[in-house]
Structure 1
Amino acid sequence: MYRFLLTRQWVILTLVALVLIPTMIKLGIWQMHRYDERTARNQLVTDALGAKPVPVEELASPGHTVTSSERYRTVTAQGRFDTDDEVVVRRRTNSDDAVGYHVLTPFVLKDGKVLLVNRGWIPADGPSQTAFPKIPAPPRGEITVSGRLMPDETTAASGIKNLKGLPDRQIMLIDSEQQARRLDAQVLGGYIAQTAPDSKNDTPELIGRPGKEDAALNFAYAYQWWLFAAAVPVGWVVLLRRELRDRRRKDETGAVDEVPAAVG
């Protein structure tokens, strides 16, 4: 009765089912790993944003690489802005997806070291992209700034190519080592996205708080793959029973046809 399972059609169908089941289980496991990773990153962001502000020197130093647990930590620094060596970071968008620049201003600390401060976003409304844009001036003199500590930007992490031959005082990526060579100074690793002071008076648009990744989708996708994996053998059994039913019906019809008609 089950000899049809050895036909080419059923052999292929069974092999496909046997391949799909472990594949879908692995895809579900992969989605759960993604869920765990995103949940962990979200927790790091929550912990960093909720941590007590500390002086930047406690977390950063020249040549230091900002770690994932240090990222988004609120830090403070005392010193003065050096607008003579200010640069702009090209092709950056604001909360409305308008294209413009980020303003990167060296902040000279009391011991002479330099902290790179991303003061925020300005529109690219100049006569051309080669001309240095007009930038609102920061507060003068000795002040205290605070911001979220950020790691150096890389092409691998951001997808932004570090183009060469750019107009003077324009860059593509914020790289503390590159800026240390340009400024010929000791520059703290990473930079800060400024959060204060913000006078609200013709200043760059401050960069908003970081958003969190949607981990719930990965959780849902994992169970979706596992449901698919469970549905494969169920579907195989349904097809098998249908095939048996059709074959029995065909056999019964054939048997009826072979019975001779009664002679009256």
Structure 2
Amino acid sequence: MPSMPQTNNETTISTENSKNITKGEEHKKTWDALVYNKNIKSDEVLNVYKTWATAYQSDMDKVNPKKSEHVAQFAAELVKGDRKNPADLTVLDVAAGTGSVGVELVKYGFKNITATDYCQEMLDAAKEKGCYKEFVCCKFGTVTPKVLYPRKFDVVVMHGGFAAGHIPLSSLHTMARLCKKGGIVINSMSLQYTHFVEEYMDIHSYIQYIQELVEAGIWKVEFTRVLDNCMADRHALVHAFRIL
């Protein structure tokens, strides 16, 4: 396991730093401060994304322009295994950001895609991609967003939504509630965060949250996969679930 960078728990992210993220390696410093600060608050995260939105995609592409492709690939494989046409299905992209997952979903044949994110500026950047039908700016967590409703989508995906100060673990259950019975939920996150962010540790071990939802009859686990070096030295931990 790569060693974790040392962070100062008293550190806060300033707007001034966010303005300079496109210079040199500032985007990496900003990202590290976002995801490795255990005490960062949701409003701090939102403020950074507001100022980062216009440069976010290009900054992430410097790390790996194909970082989101696996989410679309796995979704396509699972629905085609059900003998379904991706073009006929509805998809919810949770924590869609600037739309990198949506771009890949379109490449794999999905057409009816809704994007949701807490940051309107990120969604504005996603609109320019031309891959989404609808946009929903809302906080995502324990409660189903008012503008959405249960059992609406055939596929629900999230890539990179789990990090310190971002989306809570309970959002997995919310994703399941938004998905139709028999549908697919996919979550992809950095494996390192399961060893760093206390709330997410049980995702890797199955000891608590995921197993509770299995036992409650919410879903069954289709697969668990670890992808090497999906983002620089970070590995992706991917779970796929079938809604019951």
Normalised to the residue count of structure 1, the TM-score between the two structures is 0.24
- Asked which structure has the greater RCO (Cα within 8 Å, sep 6+), the reply is 1
Larger Rg: 1
Normalised to the residue count of structure 2, the TM-score between the two structures is 0.26
